[in-house]
Structure 1
Amino acid sequence: MAIQEVEAESISKLIEIILEIQGQLPVEHNLWFRGVGNHNHKLLPKIMRGNKSSEQVFEREKRLVTRFRQRSMAYWPEGYPQNDWEHFFAMQHYGLSTRLLDWSENAFVASFFAISYMPNENADEIVYPIVWCMDPVKWNRSMPGLSEYGDSIRVLTTVDDEIEGYRPETTKRRSRSPVAMFGAHNSDRIVAQRGTFTVWGSDTQDMESFADAQQPTLLWKIKLTGERSRLYKDLQALGFSETMIFPDLPSLALELDRVEGWRE
């Protein structure tokens, strides 16, 4: 089974499940986490949603990277590095469409993102928050194009030869499968969130489809079935709230408004 689905009605049960999964992995492997507020949402980057072809994706990316570089120069501090990867991570941070999908090394961060999403109250279907888990090393070793390297493949970085086919402005043949990579920690938020990424190649399938094509379990999908407000209060009691995830004044205002609103 390539995707294992389980349920957790509380934060304590969620952590119990995560620790159980972690205990099945090699000692040197650590899980990554992604919080999704709607169980129907797929693991797919923004730029690839809507059944776009790879040609459409890369044409749009080329224009976005170019325009972002052209128009953002005045906003960077003097001496800010201007290579393509750092622009790419900055674009993701500020909400532009990219081939990157955010993950975290911190389970509480992912839980916060899952729980803080507020679904439409008038929707016919009940929407559940999800905490996804993945072993990034096992994922990379299972992807076509990297699996041939065996145990020498771990989480990729921007200087690894194997990542060249994923570069925003690569002149080489595009790699196909999404892979796990470390990115530039170029903002207070990504540092606080222990941010990591998966980056897509030329194949526009979601991660679930890639996982289904493999034999080992590559993804764990934990559905949070408890009341969102209760789950959020439990996270807050553990010290994980807006200002823990987003260390700035707008987040302080949002945190105070949300907490006081639930108390009324």
Structure 2
Amino acid sequence: MEEIRVRSWTELNDQLYDASYNEQIGRIRSPHVFRGVSCATYPLTTSLHRLGGDFARMEQHLLRNFRKYAPREYRASDSVWNWLALGQHHGLPTRLLDWTFSPQVAMHFATARLEQFARDGVIWMVDFGAVHARLPAPLLAEMEAEQANVFTVEMLQRRSQTLEQFDALDGETFALFFEPPSLDERIVNQYAAFAVMSSPEAAMGDWLAAHPDLYRRIVIPAELKWEIRDKLDQANVTERVLFPGLDGLSAWLRRYYSPRGEIPLPDERHP
């Protein structure tokens, strides 16, 4: 694993766009997905893990009841992958982890929480092509047939109609990335991707630690956060755009008009 502590806005951008040139097509097409976190010590844990208790056994109950009680307009597709994406999008504890294909969106999430400005942030960069090269044969065949480099929910549905089938595709734990359906403007504007592990108990942070060649961590020093935040605001990478609606607008205005000053350290509870 490579960990780089940047010292400037320019160095941050250089690192996030490093190795983005695709010689085969002669274009800038990064093979990375990104996840911005406001505190560099926070682990890569899913909302299902954070539920606590016997969380793995709760997965099927959460999803079953979410499908049962969801409003009728959401029942157009009965794919488990559509339901997982919809649940993650609306706060249901799931085994999915949010990522983005946009370095700027990752920068936003690393600098959006003013109460964390006294702490270093971090952006995780994962080579999704290298991750997918480790997939079991049926999933590799699906990607080759579609000539794709990330999955869609339709591709996943063709190879596994249930999470139990997905988990049984290989004897070894694996990870993959897929693009969620365009449920609303928020998904589109955040250029979202979801990571999913082949077991509800598997932690992506642990899996990546066992494969250090697949990722790097770009650490953003606390003293650099204000500059990054202000430049993102000027570039219109804000809550107003990433969370369309009155909630996002209010969150942007609250943060934008907060005075700069000594931000107290938060307590040590996990976010």
TM, length-normalised to structure 2: 0.79
Contact map agreement 1:108 1:235 (CA 8 A) in 2: yes
- Which residue identity is paired with 1:33? F
5+ residue gaps, structure 1: none
Aligned partner of 1:39 in structure 2 is: 40
1:136-192 C-alpha deviation (Å, 9 max, x unpaired): 11111135x359959948322223369845844648726532211222221221111
Number of matched residues?
A: 251
- Which residue identity is paired with 1:104? T
Contact map agreement 2:98 2:195 (CA 8 A) in 1: yes
Aligned partner of 1:223 in structure 2 is: 219
Cα distance in 2 between the residues matched to 1:246 and 1:133: 23
1:42-87 C-alpha deviation (Å, 9 max, x unpaired): 22212124786xxx4442111111111121124x36x633432211
Cα distance in 1 between the residues matched to 2:71 and 2:238: 33
Alignment of 1:184-203 (within 5 A): 184-202=181-199
Aligned partner of 2:249 in structure 1 is: 252
Find out whether 1:96 has 2:88 as its counterpart: no
Displacement of 1:204 in angstroms is: 3.0
Find out whether 1:141 has 2:133 as its counterpart: yes
Contact map agreement 1:36 1:129 (CA 8 A) in 2: yes
5+ residue gaps, structure 2: 262-271
- Which residue identity is paired with 2:153? T
Per the alignment, in what secondary structure is the counterpart of residue 217 of structure 2? strand
Contact map agreement 2:114 2:255 (CA 8 A) in 1: no
Displacement of 1:248 in angstroms is: 1.0
Aligned partner of 2:60 in structure 1 is: 62
Aligned equivalent of 1:261, options 254, 258, 261: 258
TM, length-normalised to structure 1: 0.80
Find out whether 1:4 has 2:6 as its counterpart: no
Cα distance in 1 between the residues matched to 2:254 and 2:115: 18
Contact map agreement 1:33 1:132 (CA 8 A) in 2: yes
Cα distance in 2 between the residues matched to 1:147 and 1:139: 15
Cα distance in 2 between the residues matched to 1:157 and 1:186: 13
Aligned partner of 2:209 in structure 1 is: 212
Cα distance in 2 between the residues matched to 1:242 and 1:15: 21
Contact map agreement 1:142 1:214 (CA 8 A) in 2: no
Contact map agreement 1:36 1:114 (CA 8 A) in 2: yes
Aligned partner of 1:13 in structure 2 is: 11
Q: CA RMSD in A?
A: 3.2
1:179-218 C-alpha deviation (Å, 9 max, x unpaired): 1122222122111101011101127343333233336x21
Aligned equivalent of 1:85, options 81, 85, 95: 81
- Report % sequence identity: 21
Contact map agreement 1:38 1:130 (CA 8 A) in 2: yes
Per the alignment, in what secondary structure is the counterpart of residue 134 of structure 1? strand
Aligned equivalent of 1:159, options 149, 154, 164: 154
Displacement of 1:227 in angstroms is: 3.7
- Which residue identity is paired with 1:6? I
Aligned partner of 2:49 in structure 1 is: 48
Contact map agreement 1:33 1:134 (CA 8 A) in 2: yes
Displacement of 1:252 in angstroms is: 1.0
Per the alignment, in what secondary structure is the counterpart of residue 160 of structure 1? helix
Distance 1:201 1:118, change over 3 A: farther
